[in-house]
Structure 1
Amino acid sequence: MSRETDGVDEAIAGELRLMDPSVRMSKSLARQLLDPEFVEVGASGRRWTYEEMLQALPEMDGASEDGPRYEPSEMTGVMLAPGLVHVTYETVIGGERARRSSLWRKREAGAGWQMYYHQATPVPPEAM
């Protein structure tokens, strides 16, 4: 496997971990996966910062073991530059569909990949 493929695979694995209820419930696990400069523009249009997301994540959809879970599909990634991966995919949770895009970065050798930016765009039923 090439270093480029490894980076894409690691970013996708991180993306999937962030959908895991046990990670969403744990600030320490989520902190490992979110870059300190993280920003998200959610499907609601709200802009989230790193600290806001860490506080809210345990209460958000997908955080309960017995509640609705994110169902990702069509997940793909591309290395944009050394240490920067773009991941795109779609999710369904509770009947709501969204197209998602994330930037993952690795700041230094030996460090893990972290989500730097995330954008979710709702897909209206008529567009399905």
Structure 2
Amino acid sequence: MVLPVLVPARPRLGCMTLEAAADGSALGNPGPAGWGWYVDADRWASGGWERGTNNMGELTAVLDLLQQTGDLEEDLLVYCDSQYAIKSITQWMPGWKHKGWRKGDGKPVANVEIMKALDAAMRPNVRFQWVKGHAGHGLNEEADRLANAAAQAYAAGREPEAGPGFAGASPGGSEHAFEVTTRQPEADLFSLSEEVSDEDQVVALERSLLSDELRADPADVAGLLHPSWQEVGRSGRLRTREQLLAEIAPLAEPVELEVVDTQRLGPDLVLVLWRGSGDGGSTLRSSLWQRTGQQWRQRFHQATPEG
């Protein structure tokens, strides 16, 4: 299902609209990261970094699309599955600029150099529309594929395909007029709040452990597990970190994560209680996440089948 996002720009009567999708990906978040935008088979671009966050990828995909279509006379409709990116550009940015690129609590805006570049690249004939990720939206699926492929390329130590870009524009790629910095892990939140809580970050990381993209690479999974990680599984089996990494693979069937409760047990400890549902039934699960430095890692996991 596609849900509209209200933004100031409106379609102009009698003017054609170009539709595109922009997406980002980060393996480990932060980790090898990529971005991509897609119009059609002849107009697309991708890039990324050896280390970045999902939010950086989402924002940079939009930025590169805006920069490459800067001379476009048509209206531009951009599909994004990140409300963080859409809200940053269409709602929060004016307030941040007024406060010297600081948030309401006085803290610096994350990814501020990308935000400033986006502010300079925005124009009245650009609109945004939110789409649910991995839900069959054609353009979004292509942008997701490009972003993930770029992240996978950097994980493998090679440059991703830059793509043909937009006809008449400068070639696409990962070079932009800003310096990328990674201050802390950032979750790709479907939240309407400017603030990103530790609990929300942890829940987003918990969801990422269910994704095929992450589970396909044990090295990426290892980045989210504490060195002392242990699990008591559905069968009652005790499993170590090494055992899990030797067995990890994409799930046989999709699992829906329903958060039951989150509890902060200390400044750097968050407990997530959640229900995993799939064709095989439902399971109550608890995960203990510990922050080491600036990175949240899962320390312990337990699963109990529901009757």
TM bucket, shorter chain: 0.7 to 0.9
Matched, 1:97 2:282: yes
* SS of residue in 2 equivalent to 1:44: coil
Task: Give the distance between the partners of 1:33 and 1:83, measured in 2 at CA.
Answer: 15
Task: Write the letter of the residue equivalent to 1:107.
Answer: T
Q: Which residue of 1 aligns with 2:197?
A: 6
Task: Give the distance between the partners of 2:299 and 2:270, measured in 1 at CA.
Answer: 10
Question: Shift in Å at residue 6 of structure 1?
Answer: 2.0
Task: Write the letter of the residue equivalent to 1:24.
Answer: R
Q: Which residue of 1 aligns with 2:253?
A: 68
Q: Which residue of 1 aligns with 2:263?
A: 78
Task: Give the distance between the partners of 1:123 and 1:53, measured in 2 at CA.
Answer: 23
Q: Which residue of 1 aligns with 2:70?
A: none
Task: Write the letter of the residue equivalent to 1:117.
Answer: F
The structure having more radius of gyration, on CA atoms, is 2
Q: Could you list the runs of 5+ residues in structure 1 that have no partner in the other structure? A: none
Q: Give deviations 1:12-53, integer Å, cap 9, x for gaps.
A: 111000010111111111011111110000011111100001
Provide the alpha-carbon RMSD of the alignment: 1.8
Greater relative contact order (CA < 8 Å, ≥ 6 in sequence):
1
Q: Which residue of 2 aligns with 1:113?
A: 296
Moved over 3 A (4+): none
Equivalences for residues 23-38 of structure 1 within 5 A: 23-38=214-229
* SS of residue in 2 equivalent to 1:40: strand
Identity %: 31
TM-score (norm 2): 0.35
Task: Give the distance between the partners of 2:288 and 2:231, measured in 1 at CA.
Answer: 10
Question: Shift in Å at residue 74 of structure 1?
Answer: 3.1
TM-score (norm 1): 0.81
Task: Give the distance between the partners of 1:54 and 1:76, measured in 2 at CA.
Answer: 27
Task: Write the letter of the residue equivalent to 1:22.
Answer: E
Task: Write the letter of the residue equivalent to 1:9.
Answer: D
Matched, 1:122 2:305: yes
How many residues get paired? Answer: 114
* SS of residue in 1 equivalent to 2:253: coil
Task: Give the distance between the partners of 1:7 and 1:74, measured in 2 at CA.
Answer: 15
Q: Give deviations 1:69-120, integer Å, cap 9, x for gaps.
A: 1111134312110110000110112322100000000122x3x100000000
Task: Write the letter of the residue equivalent to 2:304.
Answer: T
